[in-house]
Structure 1
Amino acid sequence: MMDERKLPDMLLALSGERIKTAGQWRQTRRQEILDLFREHVYGWESAGRPEIMEFDTKVTPAMMGGSAVRKQVDIRFEGPGGAGSIRMLLFLPSTCSKPCPAFLLLNNRGSQVMDPERDAIAPFWPAERMIARGYAAAVLDVEDADPDFHDGFRNGVHGIFDRLDGERPANAWGTIAAWAWAGSRAMDYLETDPDIDASRVAVVGHSRGGKAALWAGALDERFAFVVSNDSGCTGAAIARGKQGETIRNINDQFPHWFNGNYKTYNDREEHLPVDQHMLLALIAPRPLYVASASKDEWADPRSEFLSLLHAADAYRLFGCEALAGIGFPNPEEPLASERTGYHVRTGEHDLKEYDWDRFMDFADRHAFKRH
């Protein structure tokens, strides 16, 4: 399905050197691409793991009719501008005798998705299905890290960790980067939990949460598997030639999501030194799954799929098979290679049980094989 869009060459280093090996990619090009995305799109984060951070965990042993253990985790941290916390809800299969693989959802649909009592079960996060298949189900509300409105970056983790004296740099991190940062703090906790196999944690996101999941997976290689669902513009979809939402549209409607520099590319996509296939390439050689919805023209499924095909060049450096050189699939006909997978689901912009089942199918076969 390769079309005629002229994309930046992700295997050409800034020095002019052609990248031909995985070693060259790791030593040179991967970091160059990360820094280009920081500078021109997502912004440079002003904090990594906080020096002051603690986990407050409450355990309930019998949930979901006895099939699961519930853990409610409060991730607390402090910085120069004060203190904050991110709430994470985690269900573990009661029958899991070894540390469990886990799916972590960066939830952008509010606290109703995260009902700890499971009185209101949302298909958006079908924890019961994950438990039944032997996976731990973790979720956090991204707005705990940074509320989704623009107040000049005074709220959330920006207010806690940014220097507030003087003018904010045009390359400073935005809200999507703050949400990705929250995913890494959840991973900090999961590494400490003896019930979780931290080497088999997937990060998942839908729409704006999918943009954050991709950026989290690019920055934090502890995530063993990265899943993007309907992430569209500045997510999985290539920007050059994209239908539906454009860089101008997203910057005008959500000026806080990305850095100031990104706004200089409104109606100038062809001048960006990166495109989204390069973001997907940063996941290599780890497993990557991209999903679309047939009626989601704003996200543009074909541009999401094309981006995944172009990312195959990075996977080849590692000797890994990835989807490439194939046509756009019919709905409900998922495609999978050794390291990359894709499906388009019939319907609207949403995250459904069908999507989750395909993510777990891929994990079963390719990413999280049981010990």
Structure 2
Amino acid sequence: MTLSIGTAGTTQNKTYSIYYPNRENAAIQPLSTLAYAAANALEALSKVDDVNPEKIGIVGHSYGGKWAMFASCLYEKFAAAVWIDPGIVFDDTKGSGVNYWEPWYLGYYPPPWKSTWSKTGTNAKGIYTKLRKGEYDLHELHALMAPRPFLVSGGSSDPVERWIPLNHTIAVNKLLGYSHRVAMSNRLEHEPDAESNEIVYSFFEWYLSPNE
């Protein structure tokens, strides 16, 4: 059973996310609000007949991959997760593919917004700049997944060198007594293909099947 959330409406009206309490005066970063929305979706799905609340996973691609990553790391009831080429760490070299500096992700400031969809975070505002200056990165967020399993379905935003930050989460799992909880597949393009999708399906079948 699948519960799909998110619409094209925020793209059409150029708000791109959800904001609490509103876009003009958001009290928390939009990615955290998205994570909260996903957590509520899990709670709703867990009450559906024939759904095992202990076996609910989450997956998303690109923007949705960022959403899935923050949601699964911040809400421990997600049993497993797949992040499809979201840009799993801060990286100014990948252009708009890894644009956490945008105001609808981690660079929120009250509108009107200027210079959005920029290729780097040079003119970023909000908490994003504080995180970068403080030398924080998203591998610290990934650690919250342990010991729950996750797969990075990497494309142009998440090439094979992303194993470097992923090794931090492998180390956390090892400390907790677990292994084989961090996986990554790679392709050249940002968009998933038939092969990468099959890996995603197999990952969820392996970790979320009734006998696991």
Asked if TM exceeds 0.5, the reply is yes
Unpaired runs of 5+ residues, structure 2, are: 110-125
**Alignment RMSD (CA, Å):** 3.0
Amino acid at match of 1:370: P
Query: Deviations along 1:111-132, whole A, 9 cap, x unmatched?
Result: xxxxxxxxxxxxxxxxxxxxxx
Give how far 1:355 is off: 2.2
1:351 maps to 192
C-alpha distance in 2, partners of 1:157/1:362? 29
1:217 aligns with 2:58: no
Amino acid at match of 1:141: G
Amino acid at match of 2:94: G
1:290 and 1:308 in contact (8 A); partners too: no
Which of 178, 189, 194 is equivalent to 2:44?
A: 189
User: What does residue range 93-242 of structure 1 map to in structure 2 within 5 Å?
Assistant: 136-141=1-6, 147-148=10-11, 157-158=18-19, 161-162=20-21, 168=25, 172-232=27-87, 236-237=88-89, 239=90
Q: Which of the pair is proportionally richer in helix?
A: 2
TM-score (norm 2): 0.76
Which of 148, 151, 161 is equivalent to 1:289?
A: 151
CA 1:229/1:255 → structure 2, altered by over 3 Å: closer, same or farther?
same
Which of 118, 140, 143 is equivalent to 1:278?
A: 140
Unpaired runs of 5+ residues, structure 1, are: 1-135, 322-337
Give how far 1:202 is off: 0.9
Divergent runs of 4+, >3 A: 148-151, 245-250
1:61 maps to none
Give how far 1:249 is off: 5.5
Give how far 1:180 is off: 2.1
Higher radius of gyration, 1 or 2: 1
Give how far 1:350 is off: 1.1
* DSSP-derived class of the 2:2 partner: strand
1:91 maps to none
TM-score (norm 1): 0.46
2:86 and 2:158 in contact (8 A); partners too: no
C-alpha distance in 1, partners of 2:98/2:185? 27
C-alpha distance in 2, partners of 1:187/1:286? 16
1:244 aligns with 2:94: yes
* DSSP-derived class of the 1:203 partner: strand
Which of 178, 183, 190 is equivalent to 1:341?
A: 183
